[in-house]
Structure 1
Amino acid sequence: MGLVTRPARRPEDSSAGDLELIRRLQAGDRTAVEDLYDRFRRPAFALARRVLADDTLAEDVLQDVFLTVWKSPHAFDTARGSFASWLLAMVHHKAVDAVRREESHRRRQTRVEDDLRLTEPVSHRDVEDEAWDRVVSERVRSALQALPAPQREALTLAYYGGYTQREVAALTGTPLGTVKTRMLAGMRRLKENLGGVVVGSALGSALGTAVEGGTR
């Protein structure tokens, strides 16, 4: 007599199990949350970890997702796809949001550190350099104000915000090629108004970083 093997689990079996699980969640069955975690924890964590590259942040995303499903199980619509796809799409969305928050936090921290360096006692800085920086900053600010609004917006985001060209395009809802054209035209006008030395030493380094970051 040959060995009896278990039949392979069919995809529809999995879908049926998912639908039963969401029905239990919608009915307020608290044990369904544990079953939800057991059923989807591994694929959800793997997806969040791949986006975030951080175990702790990935776990935070999972907790947020499972809590959201528990609080709003009726948000799932069977007409829009499978429950698994819906859940993993939520994981991906929240993981991307977490990446953006972390990046925003790093930017703010960098700016605070830069501000602290700029406000150090004068005795720790070269007086002539400090005076020159103020002159350059005022000249750059005045020259930027004289530019057309689209060019001014793009260069201001790059110079003061530290954003790359791609990030400027995303923030302004403008095609990347248009952003590049605006920044190039703006730089040419600034060079005419400020002179190559000022642009090269102050604005050029910041915008050079933006251009390099935006073309990758």
Structure 2
Amino acid sequence: MGKRVSFSAHEDRARGTEPDLADLLRQVAAGDEAAFARVYDRVAGAVLGLAVRMLRDRAQAEEVAQEVLVEVWRHATRYSPERGNALAWVMTIAHRRAIDRLRSWHAAGDREERAGRLEPRRPFDEVAESTLTSLERERVRGCLAALTELQRESIVLAYYNGYTYDEVAHVLRTPTGTVKTRIRDGLIRLRDCMGVAQ
């Protein structure tokens, strides 16, 4: 790739002039692949160690470490010695990436937990269901589909799954007052849609 390198790592060691990490990052910023290999050798263990400590999962930590080192390669120009030492800069990137991965895990876990709460808590009443004709079920489905998403979800949770207003609000991450209003408005729209007399 035509990158210019002053000395090889072997020559530097022989001369006793091993460059410091900041110098290597400056070379990486200029596109020096050999300098990046040396940065990698110096920081990869520390980056992986931090990721393992934070994530407690070796495979995830290895992925994060790889992301960190790619970021160092791509954004070495962002390093400024005036802001701190080079290793601290790299480890800050590593810490940020590990935190991002943890947040991603927690967000996925929260979504799964909320979805689990949407499962019916009351046993399915087969006798009641059998009394509905196919036409009535289709009408109910059609009328429910005409509601807003929040109205539909609120009504299903409250009337089909037996959730309280507060529980519906918690699952949908919506204020209880808003849930009550959406359920009331949704029931009015359902009644009108179904042609039920007041």
TM-score normalised by structure 1 residue count: 0.51
Match among 161, 171, 186 for residue 160 of structure 1? 171
Q: 1:114 corresponds to which residue?
A: 117
C-alpha displacement of 1:33: 2.5
1:78 aligns with 2:89: no
- Aligned partners of 2:39, 2:82: CA distance in 1, in Å? 20
> Which protein is bigger by CA-based radius of gyration?
2
Query: Aligned runs of 1:134-213 on 2, under 5 Å?
Result: 134=162, 137-138=164-165, 140=166, 159-160=170-171
Q: Which amino acid aligns with 1:50?
A: R
Q: 2:68 corresponds to which residue?
A: 65
For residues 138-195 of structure 1, give each alpha carbon's deviation from its aligned partner in whole angstroms, at most 9, with x where no partner exists: 4x48xx9xxxxxxxxxxx5xx3378xxxxxxxxxxxxxxxxxxxxxxx9xxxxxxxxx
Cα RMSD (Å): 3.5
- Aligned partners of 1:137, 1:120: CA distance in 2, in Å? 13
- Aligned partners of 2:102, 2:89: CA distance in 1, in Å? 20
The structure with the largest helix share of the pair is: 1
Q: 1:91 corresponds to which residue?
A: 94
C-alpha displacement of 1:118: 2.5
Q: 2:56 corresponds to which residue?
A: 53
Q: Which amino acid aligns with 2:60?
A: L
Give the total of aligned pairs.
Answer: 130
Q: Which amino acid aligns with 2:70?
A: L
C-alpha displacement of 1:20: 2.1
1:42 aligns with 2:45: yes
C-alpha displacement of 1:69: 1.2
Identity value in percent = 24
Check whether the contact 1:33–1:66 (CA below 8 A) recurs between aligned residues: no
- Aligned partners of 1:160, 1:39: CA distance in 2, in Å? 47
C-alpha displacement of 1:119: 9.0
TM-score normalised by structure 2 residue count: 0.55
Structure 2, unaligned runs of 5 or more = 1-16, 130-157, 177-198
Q: 2:26 corresponds to which residue?
A: 23
C-alpha displacement of 1:44: 1.0
SS in 1 for 2:31: coil
- Which is worse superposed, 86-95 or 23-32? 23-32
Structure 1, unaligned runs of 5 or more = 1-12, 145-155, 163-185, 187-216
Q: Which amino acid aligns with 1:160?
A: V
